[in-house]
Each structure stands twice: as structure tokens, then as C-alpha cells.
Amino acid sequence: MHIGTARTALFNWLYARHTGGKFLLRIEDTDRERSTKEAVQVIFDGLAWLGLEADETPVFQASRAERHITAVDEMLARGSAYRDYMTPDELEAERTLARAEGRVVRSPWRDRSPNDAPDRPFVVRLKAPTQGETLIDDQVKGRVTFQNKDLDDLILLRTDGTPTYNLAVVVDDHEMGVTHVIRGDDHLNNAARQTLIYQGLGWTPPIWAHLPLIHGPDGTKLSKRHGAQAVSEFADMGYLPEAMRNYLAKLGWGHGDDEIFTDGQAVGWFDIKDVVGAPARLDWAKLNHLNNHYIRLADPARLARLVAEIHKSRDWPLHDDHLAVLEHVIPHVRDGAKTTLELADATVFALKRRPLELPQKARDLLTEETRGRLGRLRAALDAAPAWDVPTLEATNRAFAESEGVGLGKIGPALRAVLSGGSPAPDLAGALVSLGKQESLGRLDDALSLTG
């Protein structure tokens, strides 16, 4: 489930919703070696994570092989297909000759009588026209013309009688009522071949829309060196599905200057004709900005569950009330988090068990003078009229003024005592995140340390 496949699915989903149509899912598993259960499950999982649900039960193409074969029988009867009895050696010789003459492969059997057929294996080929043009009126690319002389007689049925991809998709699209085929532009050549199959069956082709590729930030074809490619990798890296939907929608399509929009707005605005024909570029900074926006909007309870799973994957020891702790602390630490992985990092301090094991750097801050000051601060915090950010900020400032020092003389040691050396929010945010009892308890633990 490549990110390009995910964007294609999203554009299909948006257009179906925009036009009041149906978003259909078909597993094109005619290649039985590649179509393993695991590979298919990746597709289901990726679409489910993105929140793109099909409107009908998914169709498995291999289960429709008998219908594909009867369609070929219809083409044979119409004269738009033929049985090709070339042996492998004869086919290789024809390929060599075709390359030398600068033309596509043409079997001598396309014009022979079936009565001359030998008793040996055969494939069934499309009897493609050799004159004229095939026009693709593409919604993204515009009018694209193919010279028929350059389109080969593609195989419809293999020697074992199994259907090929191009045949199967035509039959299934027609019978599933598909009106628009929106896919990557690496399939543009297939559109010409499939159009000829439609014509060979006497059917009307669908409306085509071929999307440009997604490139890396450097403008080259997206590859592993650019980072994540699969949808599952983006999920593992801590991106939220709503952020990915918003971001993917912006890769090659847009609505004015709008950068952030809801699914409902995207559905209302989306038209496949507005997709640009040039490749889009993956921009990590924009994706991170969007993800941070959606993290700040997300329900803390949902984020707590996601963060808990991250901690579990890191073998962090969680306690019975970890979800409640995370749900409480997340609103105070999420503003700076670009991903849920960063959000997990920012919550570690709140999950630590007392007494905290302070690193030596934190212990070095606890001079005798600092201990005395923290002891007096503890009393001021205990007497604070409320345990919220504004009140505790005011309490800290007032205490610093009463000591005749700046907060810089207090903050580092207090932060180290509260966090155990882990990342934490500002002082008041850390205190509120931990709660009064836990905060004062951590102060007591630190003040009781010797040496």
C-alpha cells in the first residue's frame, strides 16, 4: 500500500462522495504468486487506517475468472480476438524481427483460419486495429493519442486458460458499473489497450483520469532514500490518518489557498478535473505541520491510547492508571509534537514511578542553597489556592521575587526534580500535568536525597 496508491484511493473516494457515486474496491489478484493473503491484508489495513471504506463488498478478481473467459469467447465470435499457436521459439523469432523492423509483434495466426489450428497450446490475443488512432480523453492529462500501429495484440488468455490483467479489469469495470477510472499515470498506456478491448466487446469505455506520480523533495521519483513510502510506515512514524488525508489531498489538488480543511470540505470542493498534471512533491515540513495541527485537535483519550501503544512497543513499564495519566498530561505537552512518537517522548516524565532516579546532571543542581530554596518553594506550592497553570505561574514568579532571584535560578532544578531528566513542558505545565500530590511527592523525594 504505497503512498501513491493511498492518494489514488483518496481521490477516488473524494470524487465518489462529491458526485454521489460509489467508491468500489477490487483486489486485482490475477497474478496469484504476488497476491498472497498477507499482501491483500496490507491493502485492507491501509484503507481502514486511512478511513476509506468501500461502499460495497470488495471483489476478488480471480474469483471471476469464468466470466473473463466467456468474455473472450464473445470476442472470438465477434472476430476481435484470435487464438495464437506460436511456439516459444517462433515468438522469440517474431520479437527479434519486430525489433529489427521497428514495429510491434504481430502473430501470423491473426489472419489464419481456425481450421488450420494445430494440436498444441495457444494463447488468445486481442486482434487490435493496425490503422488509425486510439484517443484517450483524459480528465487530468487531456487528449492523448496513440497510433494503433504501435499497439500490440496483447494476450487476453494465457496458455493455461487464465485471464490477464488488462482483460479482467475491462470485464470487471464494465460489470461493476464503473463510470470513472482514476489511477496512476503509469497506467496511461493500458488505457489505450483497454479501450481496444472495450471496443472488441462492443462496450463503452469509462472516463479515464490518470494521476501524476509523487516525487521526493528533490524532484526525483519517490524511493526508499526519501524515507517512508508505505502507508503502514507513516502510521508507524506517528502520523494521524486525518492528517494524511488532508496532506494527500493537497498532493496534486487544491482549493485556492486552503491548506487545512475537513473531509466534508474536501468532498464538497473536489473535482477530478482540478487535479494538476505535474508530479507532486512529498514535503515533510508540510506534513509535520498538518499532523501537529490534528494532534492539537484530537481527543486526548484517543491520543492516550495511541501513545500507550507506542510505550508498549518500546517496552516502557506501564501501570494500571497509565491511560488516565496520559489523558491528563497530553493537553499540556502536545502543542510542540509533530508526531505521536514525539508526543510519547513528551509524556515519559509523567509515567515515571516514585522515587525517580535522578541522573547525575540533575543531582549536581541540588546544591545546599538550591535544596533550601526548593523546600521553601514546596511550601509556597502547597499553599497555592488552585492547581492550574495561571495560578502556578503566578506562584512561581511571586516566589522568585520573594527570594530576590530570577526564575532561572529555580527552574532547572525544579524541572529536573519533576521530570527525572526527561523532556517536560514548562514548569507550571509540568506541575499541572503531574498533579499536586505527585508533584509535591517528587519534590519531597529529591529533598530527602543525600550526597
| Tens of pLDDT, residues 196-218 | 999 999 999 999 999 998 998 88
Q: Name 147's bridge partners.
A: 133
Residue 206's nearest CA partner among 196, 195, 216 is 195
CA distance 164 to 334: 51
340-351 helix and 300-313 helix, angle to the nearest 10 degrees: 80
Residue 450 pLDDT greater than 90, yes or no: no
pLDDT in tens, 111-133: 998 888 899 999 999 999 999 99
The per-residue pLDDT for 451 is 55
The per-residue pLDDT for 36 is 87
Cβ proximity of 180 and 189 under 8 Å: no
The per-residue pLDDT for 368 is 93
Residue 77 pLDDT greater than 90, yes or no: yes
pLDDT in tens, 167-191: 999 999 999 999 999 999 999 999 9
Cβ proximity of 144 and 188 under 8 Å: yes
CB atoms within 10 A of CB 402: 11
As a whole number of Å, the CA-based R_g of the chain is 32
CA distance 61 to 174: 13
Mean pLDDT, range 88-114, rounded to an integer: 94
Cα atoms found within 13 Å of the Cα of residue 91, Cβ hemisphere only = 9
- Residues contacting residue 45 through CB under 8 Å, at least 6 positions apart: 1, 232
CA distance 348 to 405: 30
pLDDT in tens, 12-58: 999 999 999 999 999 998 777 778 889 899 999 999 999 999 999 99
The per-residue pLDDT for 425 is 93
Mean pLDDT, range 225-230, rounded to an integer: 75
Q: Is the peptide bond before 355 cis (omega within 30 degrees of 0)?
A: yes
Residue 228 pLDDT greater than 70, yes or no: no
Q: Which residue has the cell 491510547?
A: 305
pLDDT in tens, 304-352: 999 999 999 999 999 889 999 999 999 999 999 999 999 999 999 999 9
**Known catalytic residues?**
224
The per-residue pLDDT for 116 is 87
At residue 215, what is the residue type?
A: H
Q: In which band, very low, low, confident or very high, does the pLDDT at 449 lie, cut at 50, 70 and 90?
A: confident
pLDDT in tens, 292-306: 999 999 999 999 999
CA angle 171, 172, 174 (to 5 degrees): 70
- C-alpha cell of 389? 497553570
Q: Which residue has the cell 512518537?
A: 341
The per-residue pLDDT for 148 is 97
- In the predicted model, what is the mean pLDDT of the chain? 94
CA distance 227 to 217: 10
